[in-house]
C-alpha cells in the first residue's frame, strides 16, 4: 500500500488576462507571468492556462484502462514522446495521425482561449486509446492512475538542459528578453517555479519507477538509443509492431521529420494558443541535444545546480548524463 498523498486546500484566482504567447514574451511580460501564479496543493500554476477548476476536476477524472499519459516536467521531451506514442498507434505513418483530434487541446490540465471547453472535458468524448500529455505533479494527477489504471510514460531530463530549454522557450527569438536568464535560473532551483519544482516533481515520480503501469525514461537515453525506447514504449502500451514499423517510428520521430509534420500541423492550425496565432507546434522543437546547458549556465550557476541537486536528490538513485 502506498502512503496517502498529502492534500492541501484548493485556492486560486480567476483568469484575468489572455494567455501570453510563449516564445514572444518580453522581459516585462515574463516577469508578470512568473509572478501571476496561484498555488494549488503547494504548486504554482498560471491561472490563464490552468484554472483551479481544472485541477479540482482531476480528483474525479475517470481514467480508462487503455489511456496513455505522457507525463513530464515541462521541456523534458513531452512532444517527442507524444510523437513516438502517436506513431506507434499509427504503425509508424505520420500521415495516419489524426492531429486535430489528438493535439488540439494541449495538456490534460489546460484551458486555452481557443478551446470551447477545458481539455479534461474534451477528453470525455475522445475515442480510445486516448493519449494525454500532462505536467501535473504527483499530488494532483488523477488518483486512479495510482490504482494501476491507464499507462504512464514518464520522461525526465537533466535539469541543466531542462532549465536552458525552458528559458529559450519562454523568451524565444525575442531579443529584448535575454536578460532574464538569471531570474529563471534562480527560480528553477526553488519550489516557486511554475508547475512546481523540477526536483520535487522528478523525485516523486522516480519513486513510481517500479509501478507496473509506469514506464520511466530519460531524455538522454532516448537520444542515445531511440530504437530501444520505441520498443519499450510499444511494449508498455501493449502494441506489437513489425520490425519495419519500429524503424518507421524511429525515422519519423527524428527532429527533422517532426519539423515537417509539425509545420504541416501548424499550417492546418491544429493547435492554437491564441485566436489567429500563426504557428506554435514547431516552437516545441529547438535544438534537441544533450549538453546545450553549456551555452547558458555560468561556472557559478553550474556549481550551484550541482549543489542543489546533491541536497535534494542524493540517495535517490536518479542520475543523468550531461553531455
Ligand atoms: P531543446 O530546447 O533543448 O532543444 P517539451 O516537448 O517537453 O516542451 O520539450 C522540448 C524539448 O524537447 C526541446 O529541447 C526540443 O527541441 C526537444 N525535442 C523535441 N522533439 C525532439 C526530437 N524529435 N528529438 C530530440 N529532441 C526533441
Active site (catalytic) residues: 135
Residue ranges lining ligand 1, Cβ < 6 Å: 72, 74-80, 161, 165, 168, 253-255, 258, 284-288, 292
Report the nearest-CA residue for atom 23 of ligand 1.
255
Alpha carbon of 4 to ligand 1 centroid (Å): 34
Best of 221, 285, 295 to mutate for ligand 1, by most ligand atoms within 8 A of CB?
Answer: 285
| Contact of 22 with 33, CB cutoff 8 Å | no
278-292 b/e (C-beta count within 10 Å ≥ 16 → b): eebbbbbbbebebeb
Report the nearest-CA residue for atom 20 of ligand 1.
80
Report the nearest-CA residue for atom 27 of ligand 1.
288
What is the CA angle 151-154-156, rounded to 5?
175
DSSP letters spanning 111-162: --TT-SS-HHHHHHTPPSSPEEEE---TTTS-GGGGGT-SEEEEEE--HHHH
pLDDT confidence of residue 269: 83
Report the nearest-CA residue for atom 5 of ligand 1.
75
CA distance 38 to 44: 5
Q: Nearest CA to 136 among 74, 84, 192?
A: 74
pLDDT confidence of residue 6: 30
Alpha carbon of 162 to ligand 1 centroid (Å): 10
pTM: 0.90
Report the nearest-CA residue for atom 14 of ligand 1.
288
Neighbours of 32 (CB within 10 A): 13
pLDDT confidence of residue 312: 97
Nearest ligand 1 atom to the CA of 155 is 7
Alpha carbon of 236 to ligand 1 centroid (Å): 22
pLDDT confidence of residue 10: 37
Alpha carbon of 288 to ligand 1 centroid (Å): 5
Nearest ligand 1 atom to the CA of 287 is 4
Order of strands across the sheet with 151-156? 131-134, 68-72, 151-156, 214-218
Nearest ligand 1 atom to the CA of 257 is 23
Alpha carbon of 78 to ligand 1 centroid (Å): 7
CA distance 155 to 100: 24
pLDDT confidence of residue 15: 42
- Report cis status (omega within 30 of 0) of the bond before 129: yes
Helices 181-188/159-171 angle, 10° precision: 140
10-residue mean pLDDT profile of the chain (323 residues): values are: 33 45 59 77 92 97 98 97 97 93 83 86 93 97 98 98 92 66 94 94 98 98 98 98 98 97 88 72 93 97 98 97 97
| Contact of 144 with 81, CB cutoff 8 Å | no
Q: What is the DSSP letter of 290?
A: S
pLDDT confidence of residue 9: 33
Residue ranges of domains in the chain, CATH in brackets: 51-313 (3.40.50.300)
Nearest ligand 1 atom to the CA of 74 is 7
Report the nearest-CA residue for atom 26 of ligand 1.
288
Nearest ligand 1 atom to the CA of 79 is 6
Alpha carbon of 97 to ligand 1 centroid (Å): 20
Amino acid at each position: 500500500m502506498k502512503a496517502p498523498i498529502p492534500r492541501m486546500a484548493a485556492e486560486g484566482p480567476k483568469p484575468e488576462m489572455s494567455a501570453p504567447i510563449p516564445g514572444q514574451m518580453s522581459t516585462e511580460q515574463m516577469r508578470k507571468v512568473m509572478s501571476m501564479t496561484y498555488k494549488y496543493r503547494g504548486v504554482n500554476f498560471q491561472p490563464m492556462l490552468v484554472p483551479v477548476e481544472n485541477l479540482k476536476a482531476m480528483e474525479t477524472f475517470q481514467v480508462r484502462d487503455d489511456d496513455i499519459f505522457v507525463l513530464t516536467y515541462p521541456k523534458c521531451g513531452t512532444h517527442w514522446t507524444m510523437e513516438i506514442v502517436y506513431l506507434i498507434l499509427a504503425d509508424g505513418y505520420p500521415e495516419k495521425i489524426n492531429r486535430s483530434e489528438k493535439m488540439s487541446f494541449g495538456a490534460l490540465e489546460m484551458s486555452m482561449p481557443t478551446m470551447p471547453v477545458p481539455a479534461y472535458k474534451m477528453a470525455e468524448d475522445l475515442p480510445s486509446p486516448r493519449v494525454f500529455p500532462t505536467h501535473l505533479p504527483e499530488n494532483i494527477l488523477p488518483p486512479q492512475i495510482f490504482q494501476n489504471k491507464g499507462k504512464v510514460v514518464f520522461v525526465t531530463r537533466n535539469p541543466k538542459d531542462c532549465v536552458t530549454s525552458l528559458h529559450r522557450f519562454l523568451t524565444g527569438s525575442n531579443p529584448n528578453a535575454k536578460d532574464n536568464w538569471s531570474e529563471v535560473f534562480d527560480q528553477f532551483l526553488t519550489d516557486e517555479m511554475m508547475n512546481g519544482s523540477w526536483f520535487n516533481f522528478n523525485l516523486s515520480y522516480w519513486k513510481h519507477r517500479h509501478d507496473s503501469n509506469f514506464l520511466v525514461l530519460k531524455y538522454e537515453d532516448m537520444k542515445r538509443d531511440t530504437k530501444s525506447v520505441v520498443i519499450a514504449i510499444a511494449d508498455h502500451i501493449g502494441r506489437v509492431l513489425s520490425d519495419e514499423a519500429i524503424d518507421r517510428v524511429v525515422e519519423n520521430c527524428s527532429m527533422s521529420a517532426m519539423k515537417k509534420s509539425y509545420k504541416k500541423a501548424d499550417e492546418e492550425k491544429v493547435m492554437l494558443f491564441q485566436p489567429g496565432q500563426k504557428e506554435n507546434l514547431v516552437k516545441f522543437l529547438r535544438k534537441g541535444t544533450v549538453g546545450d546547458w553549456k551555452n547558458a549556465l555560468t561556472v557559478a550557476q553550474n556549481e550551484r545546480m550541482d549543489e542543489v541537486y546533491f541536497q535534494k536528490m542524493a540517495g535517490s538513485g536518479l542520475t543523468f548524463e550531461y553531455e
